[in-house]
Amino acid sequence: MSATPATSSTLRRDRLELLLTAVLFWCVHYAVLGARSSIIDNPYLGVVELQLRRVPVTVAGFLIALGLVALLQPLRRRPFWIRLLAATALVVPAAALYGLATDIMLWYVLPRAPVLPYEPVMFWQDMFPWLGSFASWAALAVALDYSHEVRDRERRLAELEVVAREAQLEALRHQMNPHFLFNTLNSISSMIWDRDPARAEEMLVALADFLRSTLEIDPRGEISLDEEIALQRAYLAIEQFRFPTRLKVAWRLPPELGAARVPALILQPLVENAIKYAVSPSRSATTVRIEASRGRRDLVLVVEDDGPSRAADPAQGGAGLGLNLVRRRLAVRYGEAGRLAAGAQPRRGFRAEVTLPLEFA
């Protein structure tokens, strides 16, 4: 899934801020070294010429600093102490590389003084003067990246609250849908008239459990996969009373994933779509499959049916309100790490696949 516009603009802003910070840092670095050079007498070069010769060296330091940041980018979502440790480890090679660039530039590319034979020990000797500069830059870069992450998290939380409220209203709208309640209550009434009070009571209990659970849950938070599946079981139990011969449900849920954390009611729109667009219009038995599996670092949730094809209707092929709501919730909470892939199957049916980071309580 591609980044949302807000995410893309935020990344561009963060990169620009980091670039400007690097430019400012190395301008200050250049000015400090220039001030020191103006104080120390140099028997071979004048002050102006010495400052001009240091320009390409400073540019080399700027590029090395950006390279250090690029090496840290894959760790952007890792804990702060890991990033700080990695940045500390990169300080030594960065300072050594800068020392080597300084030697080559000042003594061999632009020689204006007696050139000494380069010896391996000079590589380490010329590293130490620049350890402080690169340690300062590494600390600044990590701190700036962390501030970007905190700001991004605050923005996501604000958007998540808005999206979660929309999700709650959407869930309430479906729950209190007159047709849904009418059909459910009518089925209960029919069972009573058919002298089947046990099934009527079972359906009534399932309806009460489902409504109570979804009304009490906080859609802004996370619940375990077991709790999310329990909600969907309650919903599908009601629908199986309505479609006793048409609705078949298949579950594939590894027990070890039961404690995985998922956004509350994230599967609800996907299951409702399967009932509305696959089971309801079908005249034969239709199977709704709900599966969970794990990748290397991801949790994958699948809601799939083998009902009539929906490819002819774009609104039902992945761009409906319910699916867009799921996409928005995943994007706000997880960024590019949360994705929804939905579409018609090649022969028959529809598949919706949610991918999100695998996290346990």
pLDDT of residue 180: 67
Report the 10 Å Cβ neighbour count for 358: 16
- The whole-number average pLDDT for the span 83-98 is 86
Domain stops at, among 117, 135, 153: 153
How many Cα atoms within 13 Å fall on the side-chain side of residue 67? 14
Spatial contact of 48 and 68, defined as CB atoms under 8 Å apart = no
Q: How confident is the model at residue 315 (pLDDT cuts 50, 70, 90)?
A: very low
Residue 4 above 50 pLDDT? Answer: no
- Do 247 and 122 lie in one domain? The reply is no
Is there a domain that residue 165 lies in?
no
pLDDT tens per residue, range 31-63: 887 776 666 545 455 556 667 777 888 888 889
> Per the structure, how many domains does the chain have?
2
Query: Based on the domain organization, do 252 and 122 belong to the same domain?
Result: no
163 lies in some domain = no
147 and 275 inside one domain: no
Across the range 301-308, mean pLDDT stands at: 92
Same domain, 17 and 127: yes
Read off the pLDDT of each residue in 214-219 and give the average, rounded to a whole number.
76
Question: Which secondary-structure segment (H or E) carries 351?
Answer: strand 350-357
Whether residues 342 and 224 fall in one domain: yes
Pull the structure tokens for residue 127: 């590293």
Q: Which two tokens stand for residue 300?
A: 């994958």
Q: Which domain holds residue 106?
A: 5-153
Whether residues 259 and 133 fall in one domain: no
Residues 229 and 133 in one domain: no
10 Å Cβ neighbour count for 23? Answer: 11
pLDDT tens, 93-148? 888 888 888 777 766 665 555 556 656 666 666 777 888 888 888 888 888 888 87
Residues 234 and 140 in one domain: no
Mean pLDDT of the region 196-206 = 83
pLDDT for residue 219: 67
- The H or E element spanning position 361 is none
pTM: 0.55
State the chain's mean pLDDT as an integer: 80
